Structure 1
Amino acid sequence: ENKDSRMRVAVLTLSDKASIGQRKDESGPLIEKIMTEHGYNVTSVTVIADDENEIVSQLINLSDRCQNDLILTTGGTGLSIRDVTPEATMKVMTRNVPGISEALRYESMKYTNKAMLSRGVSVLRNQTLIINLPGSPKAVKESLDIILGPLKHGLEIMKGEASECARK
């Protein structure tokens, strides 16, 4: 049995408009493209509405049943009343991983001071890392540029594949 050893990534786009076809989802496919280029196995790209219960059930399914190592969400992290991605993500977490989202906000401030308005969170649900990315394709690309380096190491630690943390 030739098991694919690449890290498994699910992409979840949260958008009322994209979920009913009023707007094309550009961020989800962009995440898929970038992650595939970096050697990840993208298992799914799903678009759903900004509904907290639906997001919760998708996150649980993608982590527990589908056993993805990583779930990248895009959208629903702002100040609008419909932006409930962080709340849904916090509901499914077993452990918090605040540094990723802190770094995203800090580094993104170099591109736009609106980055401080992002409420995105990063958490673990058992053996799955869940990271909320912003909704716009431009912000998605900038965010992935920021996290892709340390991300691989973090996932290897999570899976018990890396033990040596000392800087060379």
Structure 2
Amino acid sequence: MQWKVALLTASDKGSRGEREDTSAQVIRELVEEELGGQIVDYRIVPDEQDEIMAAIIEMTEYYQADLVLTTGGTGLAPRDITPEATLKVIDREVPGLAEAMRMGALHKTRRAMLSRGVCGIRGSSLIVNLPGSPKGVHESLMAIMDQLPHALAILSGQHGDHNA
């Protein structure tokens, strides 16, 4: 199955056209090459909670994305509020994915422990917060890539969570 994937970048500079969105390019390549996914929506919004929330809601409800991958806004800076926005729109958390991303990246850089990204479910969509750097995106997404098809199949009702 080809999964419908939406990409959301939270970046003040990116939304003003002052910074190239290289992290989203890394995500696009990994989604297409590793997951076989189809990008159904892509946008850049400023680090504003309401705009991030609205984008996630539209991506899950209007575009019916199976997977929403966010990049940016997961650090410690005052305007890094992507996890808070995500928590307000999800139905349930999937903490194991966020933990696995941090653990996978921690082997490469000790700074991975500073990432506050969360993962969760909204309806039948999986939302995953990734760091803002291309390197962080790659390390984090590859740490969970092998589990995404199974998670998405469960969410889409293709098979139960205990099937082999």
Instruction: Report the TM-score when normalising by structure 1.
Output: 0.93
Percent of aligned pairs sharing the same letter: 45
Runs (4+) of structure 1 exceeding 6 A deviation are none
Distance 2:14 2:161 in 1: 43
**What are the ranges of 5 or more consecutive residues in structure 1 without an aligned counterpart?**
none
Where 1:9 maps in the other structure, the secondary structure is: strand
Where does residue 91 of structure 1 map in the other structure?
88
1:32 touches 1:45 (CA, 8 Å); kept in 2? Answer: no
1:69 alignment partner, one of 56, 66, 70: 66
Where does residue 45 of structure 1 map in the other structure?
42
How much has 1:111 moved relative to structure 2?
Answer: 0.7
How much has 1:165 moved relative to structure 2?
Answer: 3.3
Distance 1:151 1:79 in 2: 27
Distance 1:44 1:76 in 2: 19
* Amino acid across the alignment from 2:28: E
* Amino acid across the alignment from 1:27: S
Where does residue 28 of structure 1 map in the other structure?
24
How much has 1:166 moved relative to structure 2?
Answer: 5.6
Distance 1:44 1:30 in 2: 15
**Measured at CA, do residues 86 and 166 of structure 1 come closer, stay the same or move farther in structure 2, by a change above 3 Å?**
same
Where does residue 150 of structure 2 map in the other structure?
153
2:41 touches 2:63 (CA, 8 Å); kept in 1? Answer: no
Instruction: Report the TM-score when normalising by structure 2.
Output: 0.95
Where 2:26 maps in the other structure, the secondary structure is: helix
How much has 1:6 moved relative to structure 2?
Answer: 1.2
**What are the ranges of 5 or more consecutive residues in structure 2 without an aligned counterpart?**
none
How many pairs does the alignment contain? 163
